[in-house]
Amino acid sequence: MRECQAGLDEPLEKRLEIHIKSLQCFQKGTKGYRHIRAYDVMTNSKQWHAKILERYPCKDERELHLRETHWIVNTPNVVNRHVPLHTPEGKKSARKQTKKKYDDAHREEKRARQNQKFGCHCGGRFTMANRRQHWRSGRHNSFVATLKKMSRVEV
Ligand SMILES: [Zn+2]
Enter the pTM of the model. 0.44
Residues whose beta carbons lie less than 5 angstroms from ion ligand 1: 120, 122, 124, 140
Whole-number Å distance, alpha carbon 153 to ligand 1 midpoint, is 22
pLDDT of the residue at 19: 78
Task: Round to whole Å and give the CA distance between 104 and 93.
Answer: 16
Task: Round to whole Å and give the CA distance between 73 and 4.
Answer: 11
Whole-number Å distance, alpha carbon 125 to ligand 1 midpoint, is 7
Whole-number Å distance, alpha carbon 124 to ligand 1 midpoint, is 5
pLDDT of the residue at 34: 61
| Structural contact between residues 50 and 12, judged by C-beta atoms closer than 8 angstroms | yes
Render 24-84 in DSSP notation, one character per residue.
Answer: HHHHHTSS--SSHHHHHHHHH-TT-----------SSHHHHHHHHHHHHHHSTTB-----S
Going from the first residue of the chain to its last (155 residues), give the mean pLDDT of each consecutive group of 10, the final group possibly shorter.
48 80 80 66 74 82 83 81 73 83 93 95 95 96 94 68
